[in-house]
Chains A and B, each alone.
Chain A
Amino acid sequence: MDVMPKWAEVILVPLISLLLAAFLSALIILAIGEDPIAAAKLMFEGAVGSVRGWGYTLYYATNFMFTGLAVSVAFHARMFNIGGEGQAVLGGLGVALVCLYVPWPHWSIALVAATAMAAAFGAFWAAIPAYLQAKRGSHIVITTIMFNYIAAAVLIYLLNEFLKPAGAADPSSARFAAHLDLPTLNSVLNGMGIKASKDDSVNVTFLIAIASCVAVWVLMWKTRLGYEIRAFGHSGSAARYAGINPTKIIMVSMIISGALAGMMGINVVMGEAERLVLNSVEGAGFIGIAVALMGRNHPFGVFLAAILFGFLYQGGAELDFWTSIPRELIVVIQALVILFTGALDHMVRMPLERVFLAFRKGGV
């Protein structure tokens, strides 16, 4: 049945998709009159050529790990959660409420509470579409898209009416107390005597993201629940026949997915902005789709893909700053990755399968 060996499935297919996306992106850069090689060099230098660059690359990667895991957990149950964006908005709201209204003695205790709130708020926002899918058959893709927009409206409303300090013009909350500032890689390095910048970039949330990758791996491949989720994703009817409750699987997988997306809020709200702002999520919920597809729905793949997208994001910001290539180039690359690894998967796969079949016949 399996035409390709596993390594080809896991490494070769995503790699070819990525190369196709990179090749097309290079053509686009050429078409707008810039030099793709110079652009790539600039992206490398900006993203991984300095401590500051690495800081932001890993900061973005933290976001994408959460949203990528979120999409992949839902994918395993054959649910397409496009609502990562809205769930992350709600997660950020939870973080802000905890940090603004509770006088925490230390950042570490606040972080635990913020993580719990972010996960709970994100899970809540995913649970409603999940319930509607499980009980009323409402298409999860449409409802989660609608919930993204509803979340945006809720955030604007709350910021304008309640969270904005009196007299402030821009819709953002007050700053959190200074001692809730999460320790960053830069501050640790400065403490060790290595000169780094003072930016609020990659912080302790990165470790939570890695822990989440491990936790998702354990959940999906080492527990009964994970097995049930994957079985349901492969065949809903077979799973039902085996006594797996579809409502439970849909609800649980979407709640985990929403919680993971919501946890992105810790990184952007508590780690970077240190207050709740309007556009903190900045499309990271959608990049999760590209990350999950690229990472083949495996936590380790998601980890690698998230770092790749972190690199692209930081590199893209540098391009925007130094050349006339706007940072929307990254959106295009992201689109191409989603297209080739997701929608045009068969196009990449079919010729490869033919090659492997030819080899096999030749060998035997």
Chain B
Amino acid sequence: MDYMTLLQVLDTTVRLAIPLLLACLAGLFSERAGIFDIGLEGKMLAAAFLSAAVAATSGSVWVGLLAGIGASVALSLIHGLASITFRGNQLISGVAINFLAAGMTVLIAQSWFQQGGRTPSLTGAARFNPLTLPFADSISEVPVIGPAYSELISGHALVVYIAFAIVPLSWWVLYRTRFGLRLRAVGENPAAVDTAGISVVGLRYAAVIICGVLCGIAGAYLSTALQAGFIKDMSAGRGFIALAALIFAKWRPWHAMYACLLFGLFQALELRPDIIERLIGIRVQSQLLSALPYIMTVVILAGLGGKAIPPRAGGEPYVKER
């Protein structure tokens, strides 16, 4: 495999890893606060639709992004209402949100655009277009570093850089701020947080809203940067891969990034089966690659290769002692 092909594969890896990464960090905030969220998929899908729809009509991708975040946060609030306020089953609520998004997006898309559940194709300012970083063109002739800079590092949509910036930011918020400490505490031992006079409900709602915002960006990226418009079910299980990555990363931000890049690499290789064949001499089934993140998650969950221990109060509604 020559250097340019390697760069191309890594470039695709980055682009495919971004929605996973954003959704994974979204899940990280929610689950660290003790709210299981299997509705990442649905939130992403809803955001992908509304951001594409609004971007198409307004012509501005930024307005679209805001709308997408709004859609995702609205679903987050439903999840919060069900699992925090009414102390319902968080898993069932997540399932409901996934279906709600899958149905509503097609229903509304059909009603607004009559294109079989799609939005019109986005062009120009209605999309996040690739950015060319400074000097990308001028140093592209420099051997090794030049192409790596201009192909791999430069030329992504703005959201890609934002997503990578959110990784250290998440780490900082979770491990270096008072809010983060409390957030993690509320996922481990909400009674202790309550005893200290801090609102468990407030913290959990905050976590759920952060989760909604990040899922919203992930969804907007799907339909306005990775692709040019919304198509039915376009999240295609990414929310669940993100969930897998979250477990794989054992609920830690930096590891989440590595896990998402790894799963992104699988997705990139799935698109280029010829590369693996040339590399190791045997044809690897694309189905194996697509199932690999799930298989690896099951292996991790089974405790082979380090035990994955979720936040202790995860999935449990908090009831104040009376």
Contact = CB atoms under 8 A, between A and B. Distances in A.
Given A147-B298, A335-B100, A343 B92 contact: yes
Interface in A301-337: 324-326, 328-336
B295 interface: yes
A153 B86 CA distance: 37
A338 interface: yes
B96 A142 contact: no
A286 B99 contact: yes
A286 B95 contact: yes
The residue in A146, A331, A334 that gathers the most chain B C-beta atoms within 10 A of its C-beta is A146
Contacts of B272: none
A343 B88 contact: yes
A70 to B, nearest CB: 15
Contacts of A160: 287
A356 interface: no
Interface string A112-133: 0000000000000000010010
Contacts of A343: 82-83, 86, 88-90, 92-93, 96
B111 A336 contact: no
B81 A344 contact: yes
B247 interface: yes
B91 A80 contact: yes
B291 interface: yes
A344 B107 CA distance: 23
Contacts, number: 152
A156 B78 CA distance: 35
A332 B301 contact: no
Given A339-B93, A345-B88, A149 B294 contact: yes
A329 B243 CA distance: 27
A224 interface: no
A329 B109 CA distance: 12
Most buried by B among A137, A326, A333, A336: A326
B244 A32 contact: no
B103 A145 contact: no
Nearest to A33: B111
Given A28-B107, A142-B297, A150 B92 contact: no
A82 interface: yes
Contacts of A289: 92, 95
A328 B100 contact: no
Contacts of B302: 132, 136, 138
B107 to A, nearest CB: 5
A293 interface: yes
A331 B302 CA distance: 33
Interface in B282-315: 285, 287-288, 290-291, 294-295, 297-298, 301-303, 310
A338 B97 CA distance: 9
B103 A331 contact: yes
Contact of A338 (B83, B99, B244): B99
Contacts of B237: 149
Contacts of A145: 38, 240, 243
A123 B98 CA distance: 26
Nearest to A329: B107
A326 B298 contact: no
B290 A153 contact: yes
Contact of B103 (A153, A156, A293, A329): A329
Contact of A150 (B96, B107, B295): B295
A139 interface: yes
A60 B88 CA distance: 29
A329 B117 CA distance: 12
A161 B287 CA distance: 11
B103 A347 contact: no
Given A153-B288, A156-B287, A342 B96 contact: yes
A150, A330, A343 interface centre (most CB from chain B within 10 Å): A343
A42 B295 CA distance: 45
B177 interface: no
A23 interface: no
A325 B298 CA distance: 39
A344 B82 contact: yes
Interface string A151-169: 0011011001100000000
A360 interface: no
Contacts of B86: 343-347, 350
Contacts of A334: 99, 103
22 contacts: A28-B107, A32-B107, A32-B110, A32-B111, A129-B298, A138-B303, A141-B38, A142-B301, A143-B298, A145-B243, A146-B297, A150-B294, A154-B291, A156-B287, A326-B110, A331-B103, A335-B96, A335-B100, A338-B99, A345-B86, A347-B86, A350-B86
Given A28-B107, A32-B108, A157-B287, 4 more contacts: A138-B302, A335-B102, A342-B96, A343-B86
Interface of B: 38, 78, 81-83, 86-93, 95-100, 102-104, 106-108, 110-111, 114, 117, 237, 240, 243-244, 247, 285, 287-288, 290-291, 294-295, 297-298, 301-303, 310
Which 8 pairs between the two chains have the least Cβ-Cβ distance?
A: A331-B103, A343-B93, A335-B99, A332-B103, A342-B92, A138-B301, A32-B111, A153-B291
